[in-house]
A and B are shown apart, each in its own frame.
Chain A
Amino acid sequence: MNGTWVVFRREVGQYFASPIAYLIAAALLLVTGLYFNADLTFSVGTKPAEPALIPLLLSFAMVFCAPLLTMRLLAEERREGTLELLLTAPVSDGAIVLGKFLSAWFYYTILLALTFIYQIILVSITQPDMGHTMAAYIGIWLYGGATLAVGILFSAITENQIVAAFLSIALLFILWMGELIGQIITNLELAEVVRQLTLIGHFTSSFAVGLIRAEDIAYYAGITALMLFIAIRVVESNRWR
């Protein structure tokens, strides 16, 4: 456990030691700010503001952002040779991967928290459905964890960060697109199976409409656990070369 904590602390430090972390946060606030503004002007006098606005935007954005946030984590260690030192430190391979994953999730959580500013604005001008919004945020938080775990896995597989990012974008995009594929399948049972396997199949019709369901939580937790498990095995395989 100590190993996880030490690795976590170093990685969080790395996120905030570089200006990139702040640039990403600024860019995120700029994009979501524009989006929020557009929704507000569109909603005036016609409908209430969308309670799951930011989480819905992120459910698509994370397909591209999660790989960018995680591509460095293990690929860089391998390229720089520091992985050899990490693997000869008295900590388990699992602790290393877990610490890195948690640091990425922590950074993502902070980014997510920054977007609460729009809720504060909404509360001050109207009466938004906070329960609905909170459910959507909890959903996108779990959703984000699963996408970051996918990113970690591909970062473990290659020492090239670009390749890692590209491969995880591909997998995440497939997991995301599955929803669309499910919609055009005429066999209803098959379509439902496909939909149950996809990332947003467990988001748009549950968390995003204010529902918190155990099956959706189990899905994201399962994807996260599976990806981390494979990532740990991949890191371990460095010992057999």
Chain B
Amino acid sequence: MIDVQNLSKTYGTFAAVDRLSFKAEAGEVVGLLGPNGAGKTTTMRMLTGFMPPSAGSARIAGYDILNDSLEVRRRVGYLPERVPVYPDMTVQGYIQFWANLRGVRDARRQTERVLESVHLLERRKTLIRNLSKGMRQRLGLAQALVHDPPVVILDEPTIGIDPQQVIEVRQSVRALGEKHTVLFSTHILSEAEQVCDRVIIINHGRILAQGTPATLRQQLQPGDHLYVQISGASSAAGQRLLAEIEGVQQVQPQGIGFHVRAAVRANLRGDIAQRVVQAGYQLEELRPVAMTLEDIFLDLLGREEGA
């Protein structure tokens, strides 16, 4: 549904987006994850036909974003980061305007349908200037959906609204995946993890990693992370003991136990258990620690900056 090939956007010598390639299948919710200034918005602006790419190409629903820009724009719903509205219009007038502009048949009924779906139908006569921030966000979403586009592109839809509304917006995005292909950007990792089928991590306009949240965690977790809790030994003694085991790279006190980071090798856990018992202590707990995307992300960013 979305097929991006070596998409680039350069300003002078600065590459905002640098040879980006990815695909999104129909019905997939794909998250673009990256810190501010990573090139998320620029990528989205190219895909929505707002600005042309400097190099590379992309196809949306089979149409080229440069050669068939109008066809692409008909098939994309877009919510920019700072939800743009006309404050002096009514909720209904605003949505109907976008429906008409995008050539929706039966714009009035479609407007009511989409307002119903974002729970703004009873507010349809309200002037937009009187809406709360969360309502505006939902209005922006309604605007992006009124022409029932196969592809929906949302730029940081959860920024600046309260936690309850964040949860609602996440649920809406999740639900959109049933009928639409969704590309949405965020810099909050747990959000990407909750909402997306697939996450693409970008920084400095390049893809650092992509995959499902689960595979990303598996692939990128460098080495084994274990939580070990020992009784009968002082903290220092326990730490020394664990650090001596072959393959262990780092031991950090964590709560009443230790966070152990080690190279992946066979029988590591067996060795740890054996050594602890041999030293006359008791092994209370030994379990793998799953890294969150947060950790992976920071790790990736760190590695990139170091390289």
**Residues of A near any B CB (own CB < 8 A):** 2-3, 6-7, 9-10, 13-14, 17-18, 80-92, 239-241
The reply to whether B88 and A88 contact each other, CB–CB distance below 8 Å, is no
Q: What residue in chain B is nearest A95 (Cβ atoms)?
A: B101
For the complex, give the distance between the alpha carbons of A89 and B84 in Å: 13
For the complex, give the distance between the alpha carbons of A113 and B248 in Å: 88
The reply to whether A88 and B101 contact each other, CB–CB distance below 8 Å, is no
Q: Is B179 among interface residues, defined by CB-CB distance under 8 A?
A: no
Within 8 Å CB of B97, what residues of A?
6, 10
Given A6-B101, A90-B73, A239-B52, check contact A85 B80 (CB 8 Å): yes
Q: Enumerate 18 A-B pairs (CB-CB under 8 Å) in ascending A order.
A: A2-B103, A17-B88, A17-B89, A82-B84, A82-B85, A84-B50, A84-B80, A87-B49, A88-B73, A88-B76, A88-B78, A89-B73, A89-B102, A90-B74, A90-B101, A239-B50, A239-B51, A240-B51
| Count of chain A to chain B residue pairs whose CB atoms are closer than 8 Å in the complex | 66
> SS class of chain A's interface: helix, strand, loop or mixed?
helix
CB under 8 Å from chain A, chain B span 62-80 = 70-71, 73-74, 76, 78, 80
Q: What residue in chain A is nearest B107 (Cβ atoms)?
A: A6
Give the Cβ gap from A207 to chain B, nearest Cβ, in Å.
36
Give the Cβ gap from B176 to chain A, nearest Cβ, in Å.
18
Within 8 Å CB of A241, what residues of B?
51
Within 8 Å CB of A10, what residues of B?
89, 97
For the complex, give the distance between the alpha carbons of A87 and B78 in Å: 11
The reply to whether B103 and A90 contact each other, CB–CB distance below 8 Å, is yes
The reply to whether A6 and B70 contact each other, CB–CB distance below 8 Å, is no
Contacts A17-B89, A90-B102, A92-B70 supplied; 14 other A-B pairs, CB < 8 Å: A2-B103, A17-B88, A80-B85, A80-B87, A81-B80, A81-B84, A82-B86, A83-B84, A85-B80, A88-B78, A90-B101, A90-B103, A239-B51, A241-B51
Within 8 Å CB of B71, what residues of A?
90
Q: Is B48 among interface residues, defined by CB-CB distance under 8 A?
A: yes
Within 8 Å CB of A82, what residues of B?
84-86
Q: Is B212 among interface residues, defined by CB-CB distance under 8 A?
A: no
Give the Cβ gap from B44 to chain A, nearest Cβ, in Å.
10
Within 8 Å CB of A18, what residues of B?
88
Q: What residue in chain B is nearest A92 (Cβ atoms)?
A: B70
Give the Cβ gap from A73 to chain B, nearest Cβ, in Å.
12
